[in-house]
Amino acid sequence: MRNRISARELFDQLHERLALRWLTSGQRGGERTLERGEQLTRRPSLAGYLNVIHPNKVQIIGAAELAWLDTLDARQRWETLEKIMGFDPMALVISQNQGCPQDLRSIAEETNTALWVSGRRGYELLNLLQYHMALALAPRISLHGVFMEIFSIGVLVTGESGVGKSELALELISRGHRLVADDAPEFTQIAPDVLDGTCPDMLQDMLEVRGLGVMNIRQMFGDTAVKRNKYLRLIVQLVKAVDNSGDAMARLTGESPSPARVLDLEVPVFQLPVAAGRNLAVLTEAAVRLHMLRVKGMDPAAAFLARHSSLLSLSQES
């Protein structure tokens, strides 16, 4: 996945919301980019107020910063501006539609640096730029499967090709659950413990089922049958059924392998064996309900084993 953003992309995405105007002629500096690997090696934040010690990639210049520049004599002022540009900022933003000093405009054009002015206050620019840039550069990955919302939980249905993921998704949709993405959902780690799943634009609202082809779920089932994004909380893995009748513990606790690691997070996994006569939609709903119980600290299998141990102890005492 592409984890970079250019100054022109940032401007195009935010110029209406932040009331941005490009000051340098010919929109110079628009090709400058910031990649995710670069932010990890830098001490400062992605965006912040003018800082010549630990510079930000997008430097916000407010009234206090302009007033500080005005306190410098001509030589110090030019040396300071050269130092700022020497750090190769992606862009400079002047807040509150303040007038841009001519020397700042000149050095921005000489160094091919994007220079913008905004009608927003400095703290508004800081909050929105930080959030937008952090989201654009957040770690992300594309996984194979069908991502759905089931009982308000984000569930990724995975399995080998042809195992029946799309057929299961179609039945779940007919039972009132919602589709987020088919085939290649994209997951972005937007917080230390949050994976946000979305659908690529190309696949939006689409579900492919063998024998039926590609279907538009929104057109067939209505707007309530699809959802734009959802946090990933559970993975349901469809596997070919095998005979585990000799494994009594597996029958008690279910087919629950170790959690799957997605980026920096571990996601619980349920394995559902696929065999003739098994209602996978009902089993998937039951898996989601069981996961919700476990999140609340209730484990039916553990409670049953504890009850069994208690009864054994009583029988031995008697």
Beta strands in 58-162 (DSSP E): 58-61, 91-94, 114-118, 140-142, 145-150, 153-159
May I ask the CATH class of domain 140-306?
alpha beta
pLDDT at residue 2 in the model: 57
| C-alpha to C-alpha distance for 262 and 54, rounded to whole angstroms | 33
Active site (annotated) includes residue 83? no
- The whole-number pLDDT of residue 314 equals 76
Q: Which residue is catalytic, options 165, 178, 227, 233? A: 165
pLDDT-derived band at 249, boundaries 50, 70, 90: low
Mean pLDDT, the chain, rounded, equals: 88
Please identify which of the residues 144, 175, 210, 278 carries the catalytic annotation: 144
For residue 54, give the H/E element and its range.
none
Domain(s) of CATH 3.40.1390.20: residues in the chain: 4-136
Q: How far from 164 is each of 146, 183, 186, 239, CA to CA, in Å? A: 11, 12, 21, 10
How do residues 179-206 score in pLDDT, each as one tens digit? 999 999 999 998 889 999 999 999 999 9
Spot the catalytic one: 228, 251, 278, 308.
Answer: 251
- The pLDDT-based confidence of 247 (bands split at 50, 70, 90) is low
Q: Can you give the pLDDT at residue 141?
A: 92
Instruction: Please answer whether residues 156 and 194 qualify as being in contact, where contact means their C-beta atoms are separated by less than 8 angstroms.
Output: no
Q: 100 with 81: CB under 8 angstroms?
A: no
Phi first, then psi, for residue 131 (nearest 5°) are -65, -50
Name the active-site residue from 183, 205, 227, 233: 183
pLDDT digits over 33-61, tens only?
Answer: 888 765 544 545 688 888 877 788 899 99
Annotated catalytic residue 251: yes
| pLDDT higher at 300 or 118 | 118
254: confidence class by pLDDT, cuts 50, 70, 90: low
Predicted local distance difference test score (pLDDT) of residue 258: 83
Active site residue 165: yes
- The percentage of the chain sitting over the pLDDT mark of 70, rounded to a whole number, equals 92
- Is the pLDDT higher at 154 or at 297? 154
pLDDT at 312 over 70: yes
Is 4-136 CATH 3.40.1390.20?
yes
Predicted confidence (pLDDT) per residue in 224-237, tens digit: 999 999 999 999 99
**pLDDT beyond 90 at 1:** no
Q: Which of 13-17, 192-196, 238-242 has the least mean pLDDT?
A: 238-242
Asked which of 112-121, 124-133, 252-261 is least confident by mean pLDDT, the reply is 252-261
Compute the chain's Rg from CA coordinates.
Answer: 27
pLDDT tops 80 at residue 256: no
pLDDT tens-digit readout, 126-172: 999 988 888 888 888 999 999 999 999 999 999 998 888 999 999 99
Q: How many CB atoms lie within 10 A of CB 254?
A: 15
CATH 3.40.50.300 domain position(s) in the chain: 140-306
> CA 192, CA 215: separation in Å to the nearest integer?
35
